[in-house]
Structure 1
């Protein structure tokens, strides 16, 4: 993430504040501040939700500033010296980032916890939940807290739900046999890829390749590895472009592209041996903007079964 000069100053200010409120260099607060911090810490601990043995919780404060949040973090740490925990504390719309600006508000968010890895994960996840609104992230932190500045945090009911997701995903026990959140099986990936394509039968591909009136250039592309081509044979009129160089060969923006890859509307018909790898490859070409890319249902095996020409 790149920061402006003002963001860099804000980040350095956060680091100074975090250092000042660490147990080794305590900042002097008024009795009122201390009372507020103790009250919030007590409330968060009492109402914590336990996830895989870790206490978690969120608190939004319309009063106070980042110093108070860090003071709360230190008081939570003092109350839970031996217990695993991960909490989020945030101000809501209290500190404009630019004087006189009402619509650009950067709020303090402090993530405090007993485990540094949990805090690091939480900082990264929180940043991803609020894209384009994170002004600064201090992911160096201390043993008890890490901080960020996020615009308009707490202004929507979505924000609290998003932060609960951050906490849950950060502390859940990792099971190497369970799929990570957001991952997809290869069957799902293949299904999603094919949903983008207008797949062709071998006969349709043959007809398009040999139709002089076809409205755009047509290329039949063999992406099988050399060993398969040598063992199974080749198709007359096909281009041989192995899978590992396919995108670079057809991306019109790439300096390494083929001479023929100079337009985005070409009909690029891919085939592999059975029509699985070719579907994934065609979907990848769609990501480059080659929306007419597709593949042959059943691949080379189906072409042979249809009795079409081959070498």
Structure 2
């Protein structure tokens, strides 16, 4: 029986991971930056400009968004440490997407490098 780590390793063998040093350039060149973490993780902070599509709903969100349906759309994915993003990228490849990358080290590496983080504005009730 395969472990989750086995599945991630297999996915990473077929996915283009972008080193953190090249992540900002890859994001600028992409048509979409997708955060595949859970909603609560996204709400706590995310890479500026990212759209949210949790790993469990990614395929459905892609199918439901006309702007993301072209198979040559350039997408950069990320999650907390890069495992879910690798699985998501592998799934997108199976769907026929041609230009999918993930950020090596994920959001944790992004934050550790001191890169900008967006947080939703909460309403003030004072």
Tell me if 1:218 matches 2:25.
Answer: no
Tell me if 1:189 matches 2:7.
Answer: yes
Q: Which of 1 and 2 has higher RCO (CA within 8 Å, sep 6+)? A: 2
Q: CA deviation at 1:190?
A: 1.4
- Give the secondary structure class of the aligned counterpart of 2:75: strand
- The 8 Å contact of residues 208 and 218 in structure 1, kept in 2 or not, is answered as no
Q: Hey, what does 1:305 align to over in structure 2? A: 112
Q: Hey, what does 2:96 align to over in structure 1? A: 289
Q: CA deviation at 1:268?
A: 1.3
Q: CA deviation at 1:188?
A: 2.2
Cα gap change, 1:262/1:229 in structure 2, threshold over 3 Å: closer, same or farther? closer
Q: Hey, what does 1:228 align to over in structure 2? A: 41
Q: Hey, what does 1:266 align to over in structure 2? A: 73
Aligned residues: 118
- Give the secondary structure class of the aligned counterpart of 2:67: coil
Gaps of 5+ in 2: 119-126
Q: Hey, what does 1:242 align to over in structure 2? A: 54
User: Residues 26-175 of structure 1: matches in 2 within 5 Å?
Assistant: none
Tell me if 1:208 matches 2:26.
Answer: yes
**Deviations for 1:238-280, whole angstroms, at most 9, x for unmatched residues?**
1111222211222xxx4xx212113112221111111111111
Gaps of 5+ in 1: 1-182
- The 8 Å contact of residues 27 and 33 in structure 2, kept in 1 or not, is answered as yes
- The 8 Å contact of residues 193 and 280 in structure 1, kept in 2 or not, is answered as yes
Q: Hey, what does 1:123 align to over in structure 2? A: none
CA distance in 2, matches of 1:195, 1:291: 16
| Divergent runs of 4+, >6 A | none
**CA-based RMSD:** 1.7
- The 8 Å contact of residues 203 and 306 in structure 1, kept in 2 or not, is answered as no
Q: Hey, what does 2:87 align to over in structure 1? A: 280
Greater CA radius of gyration, 1 or 2?
1
CA distance in 2, matches of 1:218, 1:308: 20
TM-score, normalization by structure 2: 0.82
- Give the secondary structure class of the aligned counterpart of 1:293: strand
Cα gap change, 1:228/1:222 in structure 2, threshold over 3 Å: closer, same or farther? same
